[in-house]
A and B are shown apart, each in its own frame.
Chain A
Amino acid sequence: MTTATMTMQPTTADRVKDWARPHSALLALTAVLLILCVITATRSDVFLSVDNLRNVFLQVSVLSIAAAGTTMLMVAGGIDLSIGAAMSLVGVSAATFMQSGMGLLPALGLAALIGMGIGAVNGTLAAYSTNHPFIITLGMAIVLQGLAIAVTGGSPISSIDEALVDFGAGRFLGIPKPVWTAVLVLVVVAIVLRFTVFGRRLYALGGSEQATRLAGVPVRRLKVLLYAANGLIVAIAAIVLMSRIASAQPLMGNGYELQAIAAVAVGGTPLAGGRGGIAGTILGVLLLGVISNSLNLLGVSGAYQYVFQGLVIVVAVMSQRSR
């Protein structure tokens, strides 16, 4: 009887095991990040200075917002290659609205709607066709990029609302406002993934789409909602980026889609989905940011920075458990 009761309740060791298994990649990533910080700190006096750290966080703020959305997508087994182009289109649209005399908030609101609209289109195509979102959103990226260039006639728009520029350069409690925005987005997405029905369904969708459908989940609607939510996050990333560079350019979002996917993958969320989450993505974004920063401080040339960053991505992904 004693053995029977013992099997009924998990022991402390079991609890630790059940926690450590999904979190082992995070622990390893944290260790790598800390080692990297220690090495850089011993080689450079500047690294641990408040100004430099603030700069690191500011540099990755836009990327971490985009990566938050991509985390949701990848957890659900989806992907969106059009977010860079969508950021460009949302940015230049918002700037154009403001240029034509629209107020700041209506312009940003409209930009957010455009972002969600783009996401909803991607989601609808992904949900109602059998094509992989990789190809669908690749095509959409080219369409959106063309539209962004068409909207601006190819040239940058630098007449950005002062309030927005102030936001991009401003601080609250000593921390840049773009960083606060990123933290807010990351926290919201983390809560959505962990503590909502929507989030559970995203993990399920990534785990097995067929099983999710058979469990009675309206899978198509879920996908449309997912991509639209990602579109909103993309719009936020675009606006924060615009506030930081104080202008809107038709190529401003270029490359963010791949950086976001890389950061999420480094953070342990597999392309196939079903597991992973925001904690890993934060570590992935920070790792990429800190590497770039420390290579700068150590005076490594730009060319080798690429090589090193790329290697880190490959090694990080290779070292993850395949299942």
Chain B
Amino acid sequence: MNGQAVLSCTGVSKRFGGAVALDHVDVALNSGRVLALIGENGAGKSTLISVLTGSTRPDSGEITTMGGTLASLTPSVALRLGIAAIRQEPVLVPELSIEENLLLGIEPSRVGLVRRRQRRALATQWLADVAAPLDPATRVGDLRPADRQLVEIARALGSGAKVLFFDEPTACLTPLEVARLFDITRSLAAKGAAVAYVSHRLDEILEITDDVVVLRDGRRVASGETSSFDAHGLASAMAGRDVDAALVRASADRIGEAPVLVLSDVSSGRLRSVSLDIRPGEIHGIAGIVGSSRSRLASVVAGIAPVQSGQMTLAGTPYSPANPRSAMSRGVAFAPEDRWRDSLFGDASQATNVVFPRLPSASGFLTMRAEIRQASTTLDELDVRPRRPRMTARQLSGGNQQKLVLGRALGLDPVVLVLDEPTRGVDVSAKEDIHQAIQKVTVTGTAVLLVSSDLPELMALSDRITVLERGHAVATFQPPYNPTLLMAAAVGASLEAS
């Protein structure tokens, strides 16, 4: 039984528009073994999970289950075959109790009435199966994230899951909770389940998994037994070494001497006493994996998240923005990561989206024509396509939408420009346009704080890179960068700088 392939795919490819998400990928999940799926953001991990759990249909390739070989799965077929995914955000009803959630939709009942005693017994059994010390009557909304995750695992197993996908399961867990999750994972495998484990944290991968598959740019670039790798090898495989040398910036004499923005021991949320500075004309990159609080750092500088301890100074004077407005009034502009939630107005025109924070109006009155005039330089510079300033933002491609987000921040002529994932989910040509615009703005002395999970991007653009790991600034690197060392610092692995 153990070691037998229970779910596998061969030659699976998937394109989204022009972007290749998966390129002829072979993966097999074996019963009784834990498989690591690793890779940088955008490497294709999520798409692969979607394909194997039936929520995405691959363009080509086939999927083999215990029941036979198929071109694609559907969510209901996957469920029937006992394939379940535990997501980063548990899918549970917070208002209901644990037992109600566990047996939601499959309640033991008689003539439509729930048999409460039987449900309690089942729920208690299922919780015991994952060694969860929880009262089945507790409201799920009152549970800590780690316990919610346990409930979800219990639900998956109780309803007969034989193949389990864990997607970044430790992103919100404390070390003790991680240890408990590992115990559960081991006992699942011992009982013959096949587990796929997705994580950025190499120490976890090395500890818990038996086999490993490394994805990069939608291709399987390395695979084998985990014991045949070390952290160094995995980090190299993930990062790759194909950094475009032409993009690496020559050492810059445009960078000013005195720092314009200084953070001293700044703590906020999970961000723990971070100190760093940025000089005029400098691009200071921030690297870190999920859970490193890299976005929190951007929010603090942009005046969205409060500084709980420590100080910031901007151009030599204390800087403690109470809100985004006061940050903007000090010359700090922010292009947020989530363009739909935090930045764009879908039904407003390209032009309005770009000029919105500083509408062209002295008297309170304005016209669309004036907005278009003010926006036109930015729209030209970023080459927003199609060049139709009245077209609504919703109609644009992701890359062009992202250009509007960046354009809005650039239009404020910032002293400090804070960018959080400026090229997430954009196509290659938009990415190039955005990179050029970022480099260009530094020429006029703007300091850029560049937060990105895209390591090649950080290495290509940054004059310095600070790595955050679980809220701490653990290392600062100067060019030329060694992607392996950067990745190792980000995942908290202790490596010899060889």
Q: With A197-B364, A203-B348 as known contacts, state yes or no: A8 contacts B342, CB within 8 Å.
A: no
B465 interface residue per 8 A CB criterion: no
Scan A10-33; emit 1 where CB is below 8 A from any B CB, else 0: 100011011101100000000000
Q: Is the interface of B mostly helix, strand, loop or mixed?
A: loop
Judge whether B386 and A216 touch: CB under 8 Å. no
B357 interface residue per 8 A CB criterion: yes
Residue in B325, B352, B387 whose beta carbon sits within 8 Å of that of A217 in the complex: B325
Q: With a CB–CB cut-off of 8 A, which chain B residues contact A177?
A: none
**Once the chains are docked, how many angstroms separate the CA of A18 from the CA of B395?**
10
Q: With A10-B387, A204-B356, A323-B346 as known contacts, state yes or no: A22 contacts B392, CB within 8 Å.
A: yes
Q: With a CB–CB cut-off of 8 A, which chain B residues contact A10?
A: 386-390
Q: With a CB–CB cut-off of 8 A, which chain A residues contact B344?
A: 207-208, 211
Judge whether A200 and B364 touch: CB under 8 Å. no
Judge whether B347 and A14 touch: CB under 8 Å. no
Judge whether A274 and B387 touch: CB under 8 Å. no
A244 interface residue per 8 A CB criterion: no
B328 interface residue per 8 A CB criterion: yes
Judge whether B361 and A197 touch: CB under 8 Å. yes
Closest to B341 in A: A210
Chain A, 191-213, CB within 8 A of any chain B CB: 195-198, 200, 203-204, 207-208, 210-211, 213
- Whole-angstrom distance from the CB of B359 to the nearest CB of chain A? 5
Q: With a CB–CB cut-off of 8 A, which chain B residues contact A18?
A: 349, 388, 390-391
Judge whether A195 and B348 touch: CB under 8 Å. no
Judge whether B386 and A7 touch: CB under 8 Å. yes
Judge whether B325 and A196 touch: CB under 8 Å. no
B481 interface residue per 8 A CB criterion: no
Q: With A8-B387, A275-B347 as known contacts, state yes or no: A211 contacts B341, CB within 8 Å.
A: yes
Scan B320-342; emit 1 where CB is below 8 A from any A CB, else 0: 00011100110000101000111
Q: With a CB–CB cut-off of 8 A, which chain B residues contact A197?
A: 359, 361, 364-366
Closest to A213 in B: B324
Number of chain A interface residues as a range? 20 to 34
Q: With A215-B324, A215-B356, A323-B394 as known contacts, state yes or no: A198 contacts B346, CB within 8 Å.
A: no
Judge whether B408 and A215 touch: CB under 8 Å. yes
Q: With a CB–CB cut-off of 8 A, which chain B residues contact A154?
A: none
Q: With a CB–CB cut-off of 8 A, which chain B residues contact A22?
A: 347, 392
Chain B, 211-245, CB within 8 A of any chain A CB: none
Judge whether B325 and A207 touch: CB under 8 Å. no
- Whole-angstrom distance from the CB of B180 to the nearest CB of chain A? 34
Scan B406-418; emit 1 where CB is below 8 A from any A CB, else 0: 0010000000000
Q: With A10-B386, A18-B388 as known contacts, state yes or no: A216 contacts B348, CB within 8 Å.
A: no
A214 interface residue per 8 A CB criterion: yes
A310 interface residue per 8 A CB criterion: no
A301 interface residue per 8 A CB criterion: no
**Once the chains are docked, how many angstroms separate the CA of A207 from the CA of B356?**
12
**Once the chains are docked, how many angstroms separate the CA of A121 from the CA of B348?**
30
Q: A18-B391, A203-B347, A208-B341 are in contact. List 17 more A-B contacts (CB 8 A).
A: A10-B387, A198-B364, A200-B352, A200-B359, A204-B348, A207-B346, A210-B341, A211-B345, A213-B323, A214-B336, A214-B343, A215-B343, A217-B357, A218-B325, A274-B345, A274-B347, A323-B394
Chain A to chain B: the 10 pairs with minimum beta-carbon distance, closest first: A207-B345, A275-B347, A216-B325, A18-B390, A215-B357, A10-B388, A216-B328, A274-B347, A214-B324, A197-B359
Pull 16 A–B residue pairs with CB atoms less than 8 Å apart, ordered by A. Answer: A7-B385, A8-B380, A18-B388, A22-B392, A195-B367, A196-B361, A196-B364, A197-B365, A203-B347, A204-B352, A207-B344, A208-B340, A210-B342, A211-B345, A213-B323, A274-B348
